[in-house]
Amino acid sequence: MVVGVSLSACSMVSIGREEPERSGGSATSGGASSPTSSAALPQGTQSTSSVTTYPVTEPEGLEWVVLVDDPAQTRAVADRLLGAGEPVISVNTAIGMVAVRTSDEDFEERAAQVDGVSAVATDRDPAWQGPEEDGSGATSLTAAPSVPAAWRGAPAQTRTAGASAAPKADPFDDRLWGMSLIGAPQAQAAAGDGDEGVTVAVIDSGVDVTHPDLSGVVDVERSRNFVVDRPEIDGDCEQDSCVDPVEEDPSGHGTHVAGTIAAARNGLGVTGVAPGVRLVNLRAGSDTGMFYLAPTVNAITAAADLDVDVANMSFYVDPWRYACAGGAPGDTPAQAAMQDLTIELVGRALADAHDRGVTLVAAAGNGRGDHGDPGTDTTSPNYGGEARERTIDADDCLSLPTEGEHVIAVSSVGPDRELAEYSDITSDPSSGTLDLAAPGGPATGGPDAVLSTYPVAALREDGLVDGEGRVTDAGAQMGVERSCPRGTGADDADPSARCGYYQGLVGTSMASPHVAGTAALVISADPDLTPDEVAEVLGETARSQRCPATPSAAGPCVGDRDLNGYFGRGLVDAEAAVDAAEKQAG
């Protein structure tokens, strides 16, 4: 068993590891000045002003996270590790983190002796070989954070540009009950579609930038992928670098989120909450939908580096649904150490992004859980070890980033404005761990799922779209839709990939981007607002909602109409929020 945390008590020693081969050159891609030493960077390195990622040389090794006590010393610590031949894969100078991927069993002991290092931990037990298959073919990992909207007998629709009767509406906008519920069309009519100078970061599984509803919206030059594939769970690396191209989204989750925020008003498919703003794709989710610590905090930091205004986070940091200070009872020392690092580094990253002007929005979670009194967690760890029943104390444990400081946490409602039965809640509404509600769709999905953009490649892989771009019978049953330019009929092939594809999903993952898009409209109306002021505008203008007579399976509703554990301060209201921001701006 790995000893999970090591306190530094010694000065730098000679580590004595053979230097791995790294190709020469000084290529960096985009961003502001690099947080690197004066030495030339290897080919394949990318950087922002605080985050540098390096080519992976040992893809099958354990991923270690090194905590630097003083973030100002991060570069010096990283240079010591690099100089000793350690295979560093990322350096984050804003929060004091270095990540290393290595197969060397002695790395932890060596790294702990480096001057400036306060802790070293990994999220994987070396004895763990990967998820086991159960009888249904599902892995031991938790379910994806959103649920496909499957319903039988619903025919696929191919709508062409201009087919909608609503002026300036895109073809499927009449299906977007969530936009109507939050008053997005009214906000757009009154104040426009948002300012192109406002940027929202989609910290997620990636964004398919070839999708016709997103291709002109995503700023590819500023986008980054911070994820290095882990072969033990992701399978063989598709790229020599084990880093997928930034233009791809293997799961579809991030593309769906992106469309809700800012799908273009272009005569195809759907229109987002803020179709006039720009998106930046900051990928932190792996091929299998896991959000590990290092990629996640690097993405949050990069959002601040890239002058992003809003960041949407529809995930929790794996492998712990709840990270507990000192670990939960029964956790191993290694597991406790990784949870301590998760709490510390996510906290540092959120504080840094907030202080640099990023409004942070996150999904509450889909576990029917109570953040105020979590009880037991049977899903963790969902990577790196065997899940077991853990007793969770709300005083010591956090679901991150949702319960982090400065984060607007969002629960999910259906078309009837009732809490979705899967949505997490809190029995302590004054704690600030649940702030607003937004449309995420009911658990039953079907036609009430949230329809948004989806990558055609992912649909093809699942057999929902054929090789010529037609929606298959299976796709029709899963609610897949296609929208094409004029001249492409309902049964026509799409060899030039001009059509956009759309899928219905449900979850708090779908609720959060409704709030992120509204925040972007608010900032467009008053660019001088701070993140705290944006949060206050959203809260003050939310439509308050009283507790229902019938409680959720997650627990009773605590609080009153103005603030409760199901809806926070209420359902986000884009029209009222934008109006308030405009009045405040004068």
Residue 253 catalytic? Answer: yes
Query: How far is 130 from 127, CA to CA, in rounded Å?
Result: 9
Beta strand 481-484 with 500-506 is: antiparallel
Query: How far is 4 from 87, CA to CA, in rounded Å?
Result: 19
Q: Which helix H or strand E contains 157, and what residues bound it?
A: none
Which of 118, 423, 452, 509 is an active site residue? Answer: 509
* Contact residues for 436 (Cβ-Cβ < 8 A; gap 6+): 408, 409, 410, 411, 515, 538, 539, 542, 567, 568, 569, 570, 571, 572
Query: How far is 297 from 345, CA to CA, in rounded Å?
Result: 7
Q: What is the DSSP string of 123-154?
A: SS-TT--SPPP-TTS--SSPPPSSEE---TTP
Q: Which residues pair with 398 in a beta bridge?
A: 323
Residue 416 catalytic? Answer: no
Q: Give residue 274's region: left, alpha or beta (phi > 0; psi -120 to 50).
A: beta
Q: Which helix H or strand E contains 501, and what residues bound it?
A: strand 500-506
Query: How far is 519 from 526, CA to CA, in rounded Å?
Result: 11
Residue count of the chain, please give it.
Answer: 586
Query: How far is 257 from 399, CA to CA, in rounded Å?
Result: 20
Residue 204 catalytic? Answer: yes
Q: What is the 3-state secondary structure (H, E, C) of 414-476?
A: CCCCCECCCCCECCCHHHCCCCEEEECCCCCCHHHCEEEEECHHHHHHCCCECCCCCECHHHH
Q: Is 446 exposed, middle or buried (0-12, 13-18, 19+ CB in 10 A)?
A: middle
Residue 247, CA atoms < 13 Å, CB-side half-sphere:
8
Q: Are 231 and 101 in contact (CB under 8 A)?
A: no
Q: Which helix H or strand E contains 511, and what residues bound it?
A: helix 508-525
In degrees to the nearest 10, what's the CA dihedral of 48, 52, 55, 57? Answer: -170
Q: Are 8 and 117 in contact (CB under 8 A)?
A: yes
Q: Is the torsion defined by CA of 450, 456, 461, 467 positive or negative? A: positive
Q: Which residues pair with 425 in a beta bridge?
A: 370
Q: Is 23 exposed, middle or buried (0-12, 13-18, 19+ CB in 10 A)?
A: exposed
Backbone angles phi, psi at 11, to 5 degrees: -80, 175
Give the three-class secondary structure for 374: coil
Which of 125, 193, 195, 204 is an active site residue? Answer: 204
Q: Is the torsion defined by CA of 320, 321, 324, 327 positive or negative? A: negative
Which of 123, 173, 253, 512 is an active site residue? Answer: 253
Catalytic residues: 204, 253, 509
